[in-house]
Amino acid sequence: MIVARDAASLREAVGGWKAAGQRVALVPTMGYLHEGHLALVHRARELAPRVIATIFVNPTQFAPHEDLGRYPRDEAGDMAKLEAAGCDLLFAPPVEVVYPPGFSTAITMRGPAEDLEGVFRPQMFGGVALVCTRLFGLTGADVAVFGEKDWQQVMVVRQAVSDLALPIAIETVPTVRAEDGLALSSRNAYLGPEERRVARALHAALARAAERLRAGANSAEATAQAERELLEAGFRQVDYVALRREADFAPMEHGGEKGRLLAAAWLGQVRLIDNLPV
C-alpha cells in the first residue's frame, strides 16, 4: 500500500492508474478504523480496480467546543487494517496539505443540511462538503463510498456533487453494527463499560419506533415514545428522534413512503447518532 502525505505523490500514483485506464474509488474517513470503514473499502474494491482511503480529522467540521483535539487516532493500526482490506493507497495528509496557507474557500450548505444534525452542529455540513469536494479534486476519484450510518451526510454530499456538477459517483454501504445492535463508530471508544451497555438502547428504541410506524402509528407518537425510552435507558439528553423522507429529507407524519428514522442522543459526554429505514 502506498502512503501519500502530499498532493504531488498522490497525483503521481493516481496519474499512473488513470493512464492505464483504471477507475479509482475513494473512501474518506477520519481514521480509528473499524469494520464499518472496512465495509466501505470492500465495496470500493467491487466498484473499481484501485482504492484510495483517506484519513484526515477535518478541523473545518468541528466547532471549537467539540472533540477535534481528543478525536481517537491509531495510524499504525489503521494502516494494517487498510492493507489487509486491499486498499492501494492511503492518503493521510497534514492539515496544511488539505488547507494550504491562503486557502480562501468556504461552503454553506442549505437544503438537507439545515435540518437535524445541521441544527445541533451548524458548522458541520459546510466543513464536510468542503473537505469532501477538496478530496474529490485532489484524488480525481471516479466514485466515493460513504456509510449509511451518517445518512444526512450522504444527502448533503450528494447535493454538493450535484450542485457543483462534480464528475464523481456517490455509493453507500449499510450500517455495520455490533452484536447488540450498536452502530460501530470511532466515537464508541469514548464510552465507559456502563455507557457501552446502555448504548444498545439507541438502536433498540429506533427499531421499536420503526415497528410502531409500520403498524400505523404517526411519527409524533413513535418518535416521542423513542425519546422517552432513551431517557429511561440512561441517555442524558436526546437531541432528536425524527422521521424524514428518503427522497428529499422532508418531514413525514406517517410511515408508508420510504422513510428514515434518525436519532442523536447523549450518553454522558458522548453524542451518538444512528438511523434505520422505515
Alpha-carbon torsion (205, 211, 214, 216), positive or negative: negative
* 37 in active site: yes
* Nearest residue relative to ligand AMP (C-beta): 147
| Binding of ligand AMP by 184 (CB under 6 A) | yes
Smallest Cα–Cα separation from 122: which of 63, 66, 163? 63
In single-letter form, the type of residue at position 98 comes to V
Identify residues 142-181 at the interface with ligand AMP (CB under 6 A). Answer: 146-147, 149-150, 173, 175-176
| Count of residues that interact with ligand AMP, criterion CB under 6 A | 17
- ∠ Cα 111 112 115 (to 5°): 100
- Shortest distance, CB of residue 103 to ligand AMP, whole angstroms? 21
Question: Using an 8 Å Cβ cutoff, are 178 and 184 in contact?
Answer: yes
Q: Give yes or no for residue 212 binding ligand AMP (CB under 6 A).
A: no
Work out whether 213 is an interface residue with ligand AMP (CB under 6 A). Answer: no
Residue given cell 449509511 in the structure block: 148
From 183, 222, 226, 263, residue interacting with ligand AMP (rule: CB under 6 A): 183
Q: How far is the CB of 52 from ligand AMP (least distance, A)?
A: 13
For residue 72, the tally of other CB atoms under 10 A from its CB is 14
Rounded Cα–Cα distance for residues 115 and 232 (Å)? 26
DSSP state of 181: S
According to the binding rule CB under 6 A, does residue 29 interact with ligand AMP? yes
- Judged by CB under 6 A, the residue of 10, 26, 30, 199 near ligand AMP is 30
Cα(101)–Cα(219) distance, integer angstroms: 48
127 binds ligand AMP (CB under 6 A): no
H/E element holding 61?
A: none
Nearer to ligand AMP, 153 or 223 (CB): 153
Residues 33-72 that bind ligand AMP (CB under 6 A): 36-37, 39-40
Closest separation between CB of residue 160 and ligand AMP, Å?
Answer: 14
Give the C-alpha separation, 243 to 168, whole Å: 29
Please report whether residue 133 would count as binding ligand AMP according to CB under 6 A. Answer: no
Bridge partners (DSSP) listed for residue 29 = 55
**Which residues contact ligand AMP by CB under 6 A?**
29-30, 36-37, 39-40, 146-147, 149-150, 173, 175-176, 183-186
Residues carrying an active site annotation = 37
